[in-house]
Chain A
Amino acid sequence: MAKSDVKLLGAWTSPFAMRPRIALNIKSVDYEFQEEDWLVSKSELLLKSNPVHKKVPVLIHAGNPICESLIIVQYIDEVWSSGPSILPSDPYDRATARFWSAYIDDKWFPSMVAFLFAQEEDAKKAAIAQMEEGLVPLEEAFGKCSKGKAFFGGDRIGFLDIAFGCFLGWLRVIEKAGGIELLNETQTPSPLKWAERFSSDIAVKELLPDTDKLAEFRKKAQAKMTANN
């Protein structure tokens, strides 16, 4: 398939945009990447391709736009079906992967946002407590999903690895800023070890942003948003 047939609108700072990139890497699909500098302005193509949410990531395949990161990942898995599978083959395992991915986005991610935008110390502490608490169920989830193997997806990274692993960059920024260990030996030993393996995976390695660069970006973003308000 020609490279120009597959285009991804994303941003190096966006964990959501990382998800389809990992998926495309797993499938060895050549694609054109367009970096959206969303702090400055959104491109016409982005606004046209995702008029409802005006957000990255957007996959444009054979002229069709697909939006929402996990929907894009499933699309990639279904279209490039000859490559390694991203979702498990068993319907119950698929449901489990989808359940935990939804949990991460709907229940855990908001606490991460709360920390990143918190101004007062109290609010920051509360957000951290929520983040820590929210990670605890992933210890058991890892056991159930991995079935003794290296990743949530088994021998290779899969849907849930991608759904959660994309947050590791920001997780590390928060850990550094807060002087804490969100993934730790006591409560989440399995995800802690998994994080190392995930980060060094060939489909992921080059996509995880440098922690210091991301922290720099965060300062810039905070300054801009405060100025806008």
Chain B
Amino acid sequence: MGDEVKLFGSWASPFSRRVEIALKLKGVSYEFIQEDFSNKSPLLLKYNPVHKKVPVLLHNGKPIAESLVILEYIDETWKGNPIYPEDPYERAVARFWAKFIDEKCMPAAWKACTAEEEQEKAMEEACECLKTLEGALKDKKFFGGETVGLVDIVANTIGFWLKVIQEMMGVKLLTAEKFPVLFKWSEEYVGCPIIKRDLPPSDELMVHFRAILKRAK
């Protein structure tokens, strides 16, 4: 077909990893370009002038930014192994939860793990979010049903990155006691072959987070 696919991303970024999961799922060959946040490449700045962030997918020279936008683009462009549900209502539900995870759930969880003040309040809010998300899972193996779907891919932040942060910070947020269903999902999730191969090593991720938190101070 002569497709040229490049991904500007980072090994540590869940947003970048989502795109890798999707590309691999679709069997798309791509060139990966690791971006250093403290020294962004001229190409990244050229292809994502608005946000100057990873991930950016470059398909035959055309850039697409924002992980959720990229995921939808990938699903629409390469048809095998669909990520989004086919039914419009199910699609709307999937999009809803993906948005909820990114806009409410993960920010609340990050705050609960890293807040120095008002930690109790942050914890309360994060627990509420996780409880809501757990409700969406119901009695399914994955958010996508029997197999991993859009919401599962987007929930890489909750299923893996959160666990690393909370362990590092000594915060007991996502636990089997508090969220048995969600916790069980997270265990299945990290063991799932198509997810596992795009999870960075925990210890390296912790080093990376410590540096981020230090810089933020």
Listed in ascending order, the chain A residues whose CB lies under 8 Å from chain B are 52, 61, 64, 66-68, 71-72, 74-75, 78-79, 91-92, 94-95, 98-99, 102-103, 107, 137
Contacts and interface: CB of A to CB of B under 8 A. Distances in A.
A95 B69 contact: yes
A75 B76 contact: no
A98 B67 CA distance: 11
B83 to A, nearest CB: 14
A94 to B, nearest CB: 7
B155 to A, nearest CB: 16
A91 B88 contact: no
Interface in B27-78: 50, 59, 62, 64-66, 68-70, 72-73, 76-77
Contacts of B62: 92
Contacts of B77: 91
A144 B88 CA distance: 29
A52 B132 CA distance: 7
Given A68-B95, A74-B95, A91-B73, 20 more contacts: A64-B89, A66-B92, A66-B96, A68-B96, A68-B99, A74-B92, A75-B89, A75-B91, A78-B91, A91-B76, A92-B59, A92-B62, A92-B64, A95-B69, A98-B69, A99-B65, A99-B66, A102-B66, A103-B50, A107-B50
A64 B96 CA distance: 13
A71 B50 CA distance: 23
Contacts of A94: 72-73, 76
Contacts of A67: 96
8 contacts: A52-B132, A66-B89, A66-B92, A78-B88, A94-B76, A99-B65, A99-B69, A137-B50
Nearest to A71: B95
A75 B100 CA distance: 17
Contact of A52 (B65, B92, B95, B100): B100
A75 B96 CA distance: 11
The CB with the most chain A CB atoms within 10 A, among B68, B73, B92, is that of B92
Contacts of B69: 95, 98-99, 102
Contacts of A74: 91-92, 95
Contacts of A99: 64-66, 69
A220 to B, nearest CB: 28
Please provide the 7 A-B residue pairs with the shortest distance between their CB atoms, ordered closest to farther.
Answer: A78-B88, A91-B76, A95-B73, A75-B92, A98-B69, A66-B92, A71-B95
Contacts of B66: 98-99, 102
A95 B72 contact: yes
Nearest to B93: A66
Given A75-B88, A92-B62, A92-B64, A98 B50 contact: no
Interface in B120-139: 132
A183 to B, nearest CB: 19
